[in-house]
Each structure stands twice: as structure tokens, then as C-alpha cells.
A and B are shown apart, each in its own frame.
Chain A
Amino acid sequence: MAIRSSGVFPDDSLDQGQPGFWQRVHLDAPLLVALLALCGFGLMVLFSASDQDPAVVERQLIRLGVAFGLMVAVAQIPPARLRSWSPLLYGVGVAMLIAVLLIGDIGKGAQRWLDFGVVRFQPSELLKLAVPMMLAWMLSARALPPKLPWVMLSAVLTLIPVVLIAKQPDLGTSLLVASAGITVLFMAGMGWGTIFVLATVVAAVTPLVWIGLHDYQRDRVLTFLNPESDPLGSGYHIIQSQIAIGSGGIDGKGWLNGTQSHLEFLPERHTDFIFAVIGEEFGFTGILALLALYLFIILRGLIIASQAQDRFGRVLAGALTLVFFVYVFVNTGMVTGLLPVVGVPLPLISYGGTSMVTLMAGFGMIMGVHTHRIRARG
């Protein structure tokens, strides 16, 4: 790590000269602008989806403020320090998951929260960051690509929290944590052969997961395969969201003019199904613009990953970006009927605070990786 000289990296212009304003405040301007644009658009949609309730928008605005503040704060932490915190964060996260299962509000039912009196905290959110950090910490200590034993160990370290979260039961979050583990391995350069073997294992395990699912979770998958089979029950979500999107057409019905959403045909329209409101009111063009914005954020994250100075930064930035991509794809796929309904929000737009805070902390890390650079002398 100590050896740094110009010429090691093909793109080392960043590492020379005086740091600019953005680098001094440890933020990435393109990413920041894109995120702000996304959140601004999100608030606009939320105003419509909540039947123009200023209180809902206000609460979301406060959450966004907190989340952006956290992002800026996290961005100030040098990646080397993040790296040294990884095992501790992971250990604490898993311990809290176990605590949630054992004591977490069992009397009152909810098994996702730990109540610290003042704050209620959802440990599974922490794992969305701790799992990629832990794996990146472990894999970056050795030459990449990782050897098979480390791949296996990574799989185990991912599966522990995934199983604990699935038991809560919270299928959406456990899926996201699992994808965080997979993306780290992918970014670390795991061989295609290994990827094939892991995919086969997953395919073999799927029937077992099916057995372990709760009835209502199985219902969701079955309904996905044939929504018309249960038009009164869970299929209603998918049918209604497709009607909303389809009737939006190319130009959309206009902001605040979506009939499906405002006459309450569309369930969960301000949370998981907010994408359908966008489709109805802003049409194909609006959605295309939104997807372009998401794609820009994802590609920017990947560029930051490939320009990072050390293994940890590369792997972590890449994995966190891909988790964000999984969010976008699973939610839009679910609302358009490409994927089964799993409770994953549309990132930074759906109403609700917990996942937003985690996501923004992740972007803080990505920006930190980009801006804490050890400069070449001369």
C-alpha cells in the first residue's frame, strides 16, 4: 500500500495537482447533482401519490435532509478507516440481528426493530452496508481474484445475515443483502467457473427456500406467475399497476391527473408501487427520463469503482453501486410485472425512511472512495 508513484494507474490525473473544491469537501459533483435531481423528482411524485398531502411531503423532506447529511458525513471518512471498521460493524450487525430474533419486541410482535428507548433501529438495514464492507475487507487483503476458500467464506458470511433476516420474516431485505454479497464477489473478479457453480447451487437450493417460505410469500410468487388467478387478492396489485402504467401512454396523463392512483385503485401507491404513479402521470417519456437518471448514477458509481486507488475502495464502491442497481431493477421489474412482488422500494423516491438513509450512507462511502486520494508527489 505504501508504494505510490505516478504511472501506476492509467488515469492518475486525479492524483496530481492541488485538490479542487469538490475533492476538498469529499463530494462527487456529478453524483450529487443526479441524486438531488432524483430526490426532487421523487418529492414531486410523492405529492401527487399522497393525494397532495403536504404533511407527507414534509416528513419525506426531513428524512431526505437527514439522509443527505449522513451522506456528507460518511463521505468525510477515509476509506482506510472504513475498512478498519468493517469487521466490527459486521459483528455488531449480526449480533443485533440475533438480538432482534431473541428479544426484539417479541411481546409486541414486530421482529425487525430493536428499541433503544429513544430510537427504534432496524439492524437489517445496517447489514446492507456491513456485508459488502466485511467481504471487501476480507477479499482486499489478498490478491484478486479471490481463491475458492475465500469465495466459500464470503458466501457463508453473506448467508448468516441473509438467513437471519429471512426469518424475521423480511424477504425483500434479505434479498438485497444477498445481492450485496454476490456483487462484492463479482466485482472482486470471481472466476466465471465459480459463478457458474454458485448459480447451480442457488438453483438447487431454490426448492428448499420454497418450502421455507411463509404462505403469503408463496402466494405472491404464484400470483406473479398468473395474476388473473386471484383478481380479488394479491393479483390485484399487479393488475392495477399495469392498468395505471399502460393507460399513461407516451405522454402520461399529467402531474396530479392520474385517475388510477387518485381514485385509490392502486394499492401502496406512495410506497412500493409509486413507479406506477410515475408511469400513469408522466408516461413513457417521463419513465425513460427517470431510468436514464438511475442509469447515470449507476454508471458514475462504476466509473468511480474502476478509478479507485486500492482494492477495498474498488470492490466496495462497485458493490454498493450494484446493490443500488438491484433496488432499481427489482422494484421497476415488480411494478411492471416482470418480477414477483417483493417488498423493495423504488430507491430515493418511495415514501419511507429506513432504506433511504442506508442508501445515502452508501453513496457517501462511494464519494469517499473517490475523493480521499493519496496524491502523487511532483
Chain B
Amino acid sequence: MLEANLEDRKREARLITSRALIAGLLAIVALSLVVVRLVHLQVDQHDHFTVLSRDNRVKVQPLPPARGLIYDAKGVLLADNHPSFSLEITIEKVGDLDATIDELSRLIRIEPQDRARFERQKRQRVRFQGVPIRLNLTQTEVARFAVDGHRFPGVDIRAELVRTYPLGEHTAHVLGYVGRINEQELDRIDKSNYAGSHFIGKGGLEKAHEALLHGQVGYQQVEVNARGRVIRTLESRPPVSGKDLHLYLDIALQQAATEALGEERGAVVAIDPRNGGVLALVSNPSFDPNLFVEGISQTDYQALLSSPDKPLYNRAVRGQYPPGSTIKQFVALAGLASGVTTPRRVTHCPGSFSLPGHSHRFRCWRRGGHGSLNLEQALVQSCDVYFYDLANRMGIDRLSGFLSDFGFGALTGIDVAGELGGLMPTREWKQRVRKQAWYPGETLIVGIGQGSFLATPLQLAVATAAVANHGKVIRPQVARAAQAPGAPSAEQLPMVSHAIELGDKQQWDQIINAMAKVVESGTARRIRSTQYRIAGKTGTSQVFSLGQNQRYNAATLPKHLKDHALFVAFAPVEDPRIAIAVIVENGGGGGATAAPVARRIMDAYLGGATVLTDDGGERGD
């Protein structure tokens, strides 16, 4: 036994030794191959390469492409490039950095904020790439440096195109902005294509369409002297500029939406239901994206970050709110589609609803109750009890399944980077995240769009457009077409959609008619129009929960605890051209605050004077 073991061990030791021997020989052979190659390069062809090296005054420099421009639907320029000279320091090539900057500042004006920005960018830089110490040099300064520049190895003037956003804060949330490429981004991009580029899309449309906007790098072979300075250009492969983007976005409408929101915090998303084109995407308040292009100063950034209105927060695509009653038309459709209810079926609303065998009372927003209502009346009055009952009979699986088809709980896929997907609660979600079983009471809360149900204004606009389209859900797109430089016409970007099929197609019109009545005589009657018909639905989203016996009193609540006001609508009813979702944070009632905002935007788009009626005084949901 022991002997056999020892025999085995010896055999193994011999095996390993023989393998080590083979590996050693392999290493010798492989490195000999390298040596043979070196003999070829350094001995046989030494003279050849010496000539090449002496004549090697030819260097390859990358030529960065110009970034594609961005135009709105009517051809207004939203993102432009303007030429600018900057003074750059390649830190790895400079000995004493502080002394160099001090010396430079005697030649060219360098303000403390320039130094601060330099220090900031220095930390994020790509090794052996220049970091700007001064931007926007004047012609005189460029000339002065050209004379004295040889005293500063590692310091160069660079001419480049810098992005500007002429309309500033009107486009910040939808276009995003570009900024300097940092080391992390460098790992992700194709380094050779970005060899000469300094900017990359950091958010919004600029990031989502980076591939289209950036273009293709070019190269030039230049002859340099012994000190490495360029003498002349020999051969070049010009860069291919990025594609210009033409948007669905209408900047006039965008501005109208911003004005309609006024001082309120909130968001507006308007979509053309025929093609999914985003006509307006506003998050209020906004910020100036131009501040970010060359790196924002610490003071400005702190001011934006600490503002209680959160101007950097894109409420339109990242704001996740309980959708409240704006969800009821979709729940009603789910009820019709699943056969749980019919247009004629009547439910009695005594002011609250209790599950059989439970004492908890789920209240209707109208304490006294609505009496008996059919589906249309329930939508027009936004009766909670009707929808508690409907959701309860449908069950959470059918309800969330149907609502998911409209895009709730998932990313819409819009070409604005940073979108969030909201939350469509399901049995599976609750088990996974909260490790709890689903309670029937939660189904009721989902049925009126409260509780853990969250949706973004964008999702609400997309779903509303789908109703206007009789079930065609189109992926929203800000960009309509991309035009290659020199191309005679722009190439349309593809439209992506899927259809929701109902057994009875009339059910779409039943819901749309009810939504039209919401505006004509229901909770949104304040905005009824004589010029065109609007189909809409109001909603409020609770900021804090009331106890069982508390009453909501808007007058005594501080502003930041007031309900969010929501409104979704499309118009004209017969031939929908605009679908819209509005949220006014802490705005109170949807009918009173959010609906007039939507009306002003629709008037601006469809042409009409905004006249609001005054009988919207009752607190409606």
C-alpha cells in the first residue's frame, strides 16, 4: 500500500519534471523566435530602417470630425459648433506644473476660475492628452503665444469646435449636453475613432445618438522638423462629419409648454400619436447646458445641486410618480377587454368600499359618494369606488398584464438617455422585492393608480397616444431623421410599434367618448374648447398618506405636501394630432392646475385661443 503510494508519487514527480523540462524548452524556442526576428530587424535590415528612421519626419495626426448639428421640426438650430482656440497643457510632458502656469500667466491672462477648472479636469484626464488651461483665446493671445510658445514644451494651442446650445435651458433636458471625454468613457469607446475628439454626449439626445452625431475620424500625414513641429501636410484622409439630426421636437411648442408651466415645478411630454414623435419634452425648472460643456465651476454646480427645485432632475423621463386617476381609462379598458365589466353595468358608490370580511374602508375622493354609476359616468366623475370594485373583480394579474402592454413598468426606449421605467406592481415583483404575498387590498390601490404603482410623465404620454391610436403603441422618438454631410436629403429613422388587440374594437371608442366627456362635463370641464374636441383624464397623486379618518385640506397644508396634479389628454378626438401628459408637482387638483397647462399647449399646437371656464372650483380627482 505504502510502496504503491510512493511509486505513484515518484511517477508523478517525474511527470511534472518532464513537463517543466518541455515548458522550459518551449520558452527557449519561443524567445529564440523573437531573437531571430530581432536579428532580421536589427542586423539584416538595420540599414534600411536607419534610412527610414532618419527620414521619418512623417507623423500621423488624427483629424476629429465635426459633430452633427441638431435642428427642430421647423429647422431651428438647437445645437451648434463654434470654433474656439484653447491653450492646453500635456501634464506628462511638463516638469514643474505650477511654475509653468505661473510663467504662462505672464503671457496670457489666466483667472483663478481657469485654474480651478484645470485642476478639476486634471483629475479626470486621459494620460498624455492635453488639459485646457484657458478657453476662448483671442486672436491677439494666439499670436502672442505663437511667438513665445517655444519656451513652453508641453503647452500647445488647439483649435477645436465647441458645442453650444443657443436655446440653453429650453433644450437642456431633452438634448442633454456634451462634455470632455474622461478616462472611464475612454474604456468604452473605440479609441481610434475618438483619437482627435474631446467631447462626448453625456446625457439626453446627445448621448442616445452619440454614434450618429460623432462621425468618423480622419488622419493626416504631416512632415515635421527635428524638433517635432509640423512643416507641411503630405497626405490626408478627411474626417466624415457626424450626421445632422432633424427632430420631431417643435421648439415653439417647447417654449409654450415651459411658459404654460410658469413658475411651477413639473413636466410636460407631448407626442404626435401618428408617429410617436416627441413634440415637446419639458422639465421645469431647467438649467443652462452650456455651463457643462467645458466643465461647470464648483460654485455653479453647487447652486444647481442645492436648489430645492432640483433643476438638474429630468422629471419628464426620470420623475416616477403614482399616476393616480390618470390610469383609470386604462383600467376601464382592461375591464372591458377581459369581460369583467360592460358599458352598461352599474356600480353603487356610497363613498367608500370594503373587501368582504374586512373592516378597512377604501374611500372615494367624494366623501358623500357618487350614487349609481356606469363605466362612462365613473370615468367622468373619476369615482374611486367603481374602480376599487372593478380592480378587485379583475385581479392583479390581469390588471398589471394589460397595463404592461401600454408600456407601464418598462422603459419606453425613447432616444433620451437616462430614462427610468417606473413600476408596475405584480405578484411576482412583490414576492421578489418585498418577500411577501400579494394582498387583495393592494389590487384596489393599483386600480386607482396609487400605492407602489409608479409611472413617468413620458410613459403616461405614450400610453395616452396609444389610446388615441386605438391600441398602436409607438416607441417615442425625439429624432425624426438623420442627414449625412453632403447628402441631398435626410434619412428617416425607423418607427417601432406594437398593437394591442381588443376583441371588440368599439371598446376603444367607448373609452375615448368617456374621456371626451371628462373634458366636456367632468373633472376637466374647465378647459373645454369650442374649436376642437379634447379627450382627457385628470388625476392627483398623493404626496403623503392620510389616516383612516383624516381629511385632506389643501388650504392648511404646506405647499410641498400638497398633492401632485396630473392630466393626460389628446386632441382633436376625431383625428388625434397631439397626445400630452402634464404633471404639476404639489399643484393640488389635476383638473384645476394641470389641465389648463395642457390646454395652453394644445392651443399653441392646434391653433386656438385659450379661454378657460371658471366652474372647476370643486375639488375633483
Contacts and interface: CB of A to CB of B under 8 A. Distances in A.
B129 to A, nearest CB: 13
B16 A110 contact: no
Contact of B38 (A145, A247, A287, A321): A287
B231 to A, nearest CB: 13
B195 to A, nearest CB: 9
Nearest to A332: B34
Given A236-B60, A263-B228, A288 B35 contact: yes
Contacts of A245: 38, 41-42, 49
Contacts of B54: 247
Nearest to B12: A144
Given A249-B46, A295-B27, A315-B16, A110 B38 contact: no
Grouping DSSP codes into helix (H, G, I), strand (E, B) and loop, the A interface class, with mixed when no group exceeds half, is helix
B102 interface: no
Nearest to B202: A108
A359 B50 CA distance: 36
B27 A336 contact: no
B23 A186 contact: yes
Interface stretch (A60-68, A74-82, A86-94, A300-308): A300-308
A249 B48 CA distance: 11
Given A247-B53, A260-B56, A325 B15 contact: no
Nearest to B41: A246
A243 B56 contact: yes
A368 interface: no
Interface string B316-333: 000000000000000000
A139 B165 CA distance: 63
A143 B13 CA distance: 11
A284 B39 contact: yes
B126 to A, nearest CB: 12
A228 interface: no
Contacts of B219: 232-233
A305 B20 contact: yes
Contacts of A329: 27, 30-31, 34
Nearest to A53: B92
Task: Give the one of A145, A246, A299, A325 with max B CB within 10 A.
Answer: A246
B187 A109 contact: yes
A8 B20 contact: no
B41 to A, nearest CB: 4
B506 interface: no
A55 to B, nearest CB: 7
Interface string B383-425: 0000000000000000000000000000000000000000000
A23 interface: no
A243 B58 CA distance: 12
Contacts of A321: 23
B41 A336 contact: yes
A338 interface: yes
Nearest to B418: A107
B188 A279 contact: no
Task: Give the one of B188, B189, B190 with max A CB within 10 A.
Answer: B188
Contacts of A50: 92
B27 A284 contact: no
B487 interface: no
Interface string B460-471: 000000000000
Contacts of A19: none
A21 B237 CA distance: 64
A96 to B, nearest CB: 17
Given A144-B12, A187-B16, A247 B188 contact: no
Contacts, number: 185
Interface residues of A, number: 76
Contacts of A333: 33-34, 37
Given A9-B13, A247-B49, A318 B93 contact: no
Interface residues of B, number: 60
Nearest to B16: A314
Nearest to B193: A216
Interface stretch (B1-9, B288-296, B349-357): B1-9
Given A110-B188, A288-B35, A259 B53 contact: yes
A47 interface: no
Contact of A189 (B9, B15, B92, B237): B15
Contacts of B38: 245, 279, 284, 287-288, 336
A3 B2 contact: yes
Given A145-B15, A299-B24, A318-B23, A243 B43 contact: no
A143 B12 contact: yes
A56 B228 CA distance: 22
Interface string A313-354: 011001001100100110011001110000000000000000
Contacts of A294: 31
Nearest to B227: A263
A56 B46 contact: no
Contacts of A9: 13
A246 B31 contact: no
A244 interface: yes
A279 B53 contact: no
A303 B184 contact: no
A344 B582 CA distance: 54
B34 A336 contact: yes
Contacts of A143: 8, 12
Nearest to A313: B16
A21 B92 CA distance: 42
B55 to A, nearest CB: 10
A47 B462 CA distance: 60
B559 interface: no
A303 B20 contact: yes
B15 A105 contact: no
Contacts of B42: 245-246, 248-250, 279, 283-284, 287
B188 A109 contact: yes
B31 A328 contact: yes
Nearest to A107: B418
B37 A336 contact: yes
A306 B17 contact: yes
A77 to B, nearest CB: 22
A122 B15 CA distance: 36
A298 B461 CA distance: 66
B12 A243 contact: no
Interface of A: 3, 8-10, 50-51, 53-56, 105, 108-113, 143-145, 183, 186-189, 214-216, 231-234, 236, 242-250, 259-260, 263-265, 279, 283-284, 287-288, 291, 294-295, 298-299, 302-303, 305-306, 308, 311, 314-315, 318, 321-322, 325, 328-329, 332-333, 336-338
25 contacts: A8-B6, A51-B93, A53-B95, A111-B188, A183-B23, A189-B15, A214-B190, A242-B49, A246-B46, A246-B53, A247-B52, A250-B42, A250-B43, A260-B53, A263-B59, A265-B59, A283-B42, A291-B31, A302-B24, A306-B21, A318-B16, A318-B20, A322-B23, A336-B37, A338-B34
Given A247-B53, A284-B39, 20 more contacts: A9-B13, A51-B92, A53-B93, A105-B184, A183-B23, A187-B19, A189-B15, A216-B191, A233-B219, A250-B42, A260-B53, A260-B56, A263-B59, A264-B228, A279-B38, A284-B43, A288-B35, A291-B31, A295-B28, A318-B16
- Nearest 9 CB-CB pairs, A to B? A246-B49, A109-B188, A247-B53, A110-B187, A232-B219, A110-B184, A306-B20, A302-B20, A306-B17
